[in-house]
């Protein structure tokens, strides 16, 4: 299916029949990607007395319950409500779903005892482009990202200046293949989150951060259309399914 989508005052021809899913699914077992020191997600049949909600156990239907934390298990999208005392829902504030996006690949650089993404790296990779969304793939980019156990590993993160650079460029949706844009243990500073959402000023309630994506190496750096699909939970964060579409023309 070929569609014409207008962005930045230009029409772009997109092939909707060839989606590129960059989400990490939840399977409900120990092979799931995980972070923040909690056990893996669970998908199990509901039980009540002698009833077990599984056809394999003799039931007429499969009737599972799912236990998970959106911030720890699989791809998720969050809004500034992640930081506010006031309840702010990503479901209420994300009300557009297609965005002109740029995929960039960055090898985090050494900074003190950490590996980070700096403003200089983003300037080089992103340049002067005008995009609504930026998708950051970090190197090395191995398939083990889909089952990584991130707790206590001090993964790479964005410096505050890098997040501010994206804000200054007008980026409203940041997607990254790490468990957080901030350092795993930073005593609650959350500098990149706060900068990206302009937490100390007029908060960018429409802006989102999507973490724990996976961008296969078969997807080249460049410009795409992003469909950011978010499950309709009234919460600061929700499981999400970001899907890219290659631009054929425009």
229-246 residue pLDDT tens: 999 999 999 999 999 999
Distances (CA, A) of 170 to 129, 158, 165, 166, 196: 10, 17, 9, 6, 10
Any domain includes 160: yes
Provide the pLDDT confidence category of residue 250 given band limits of 50, 70 and 90: low
135-173 residue pLDDT tens: 999 999 999 999 999 999 999 999 999 999 999 999 999
CATH number for the domain that contains residue 224: 3.50.30.50
Any domain includes 45: no
Residue with tokens 């950011």: 228
Any domain includes 49: no
Measured CA to CA, the distance from residue 237 to residue 150 in angstroms comes to: 19
With contact defined as beta carbons under 8 Å apart, do 156 and 141 qualify? no
Any domain includes 17: yes
Any domain includes 41: no
User: Can you say whether the dihedral through the CA atoms of 50, 56, 62, 67 is positive or negative?
Assistant: positive
Any domain includes 204: yes
Backbone angles phi, psi at 136, to 5 degrees: -105, 120
Measured CA to CA, the distance from residue 118 to residue 166 in angstroms comes to: 11
Q: What share of the chain is helix, strand, coil (3-state, %, to 5)?
A: 15, 35, 50
Any domain includes 40: no
Left (φ > 0), alpha (ψ -120 to 50) or beta: where does 97 sit?
Answer: alpha
Any domain includes 220: yes
Instruction: Name the average pLDDT for the chain.
Output: 95
What total of structural domains would you count in the chain? 1
Residue with tokens 């957080």: 180
State CA 11 to chain mean position distance. Answer: 26
Domain span including residue 183 = 2-25+71-249
With contact defined as beta carbons under 8 Å apart, do 38 and 72 qualify? yes
Measured CA to CA, the distance from residue 246 to residue 77 in angstroms comes to: 22
């Amino acid at each position: 299916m070929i569609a014409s989508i207008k962005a930045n005052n230009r029409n772009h021809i997109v092939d909707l029949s060839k989606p590129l899913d960059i989400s990490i699914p939840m399977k409900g077992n120990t092979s799931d990607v995980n972070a923040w020191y909690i056990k893996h997600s669970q998908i199990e049949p509901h039980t009540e007395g002698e009833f077990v909600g599984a056809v394999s156990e003799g039931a007429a239907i499969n009737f599972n319950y799912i236990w998970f934390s959106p911030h720890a298990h699989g791809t998720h999208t969050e809004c500034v409500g992640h930081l506010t005392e006031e309840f702010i829902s990503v479901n209420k504030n994300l009300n557009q779903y297609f965005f002109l996006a740029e995929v960039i690949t960055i090898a985090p650089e050494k900074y003190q005892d950490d590996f980070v993404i700096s403003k200089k790296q983003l300037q080089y990779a992103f340049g002067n482009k005008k995009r609504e969304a930026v998708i950051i793939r970090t190197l090395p980019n191995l398939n083990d990202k889909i089952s990584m156990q991130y707790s206590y590993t001090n993964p790479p993160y964005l410096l505050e200046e890098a997040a501010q650079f994206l804000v200054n460029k007008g980026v409203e949706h940041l997607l990254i293949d790490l468990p957080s844009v901030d350092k795993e243990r930073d005593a609650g500073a959350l500098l990149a989150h706060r900068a990206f959402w302009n937490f100390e000023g007029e908060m960018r309630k429409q802006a989102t951060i999507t973490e724990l994506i996976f961008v296969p190496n078969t997807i080249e750096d460049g410009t795409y259309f992003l469909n950011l699909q978010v499950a309709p939970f009234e919460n600061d964060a929700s499981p999400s399914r970001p899907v890219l579409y290659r631009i054929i023309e425009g």
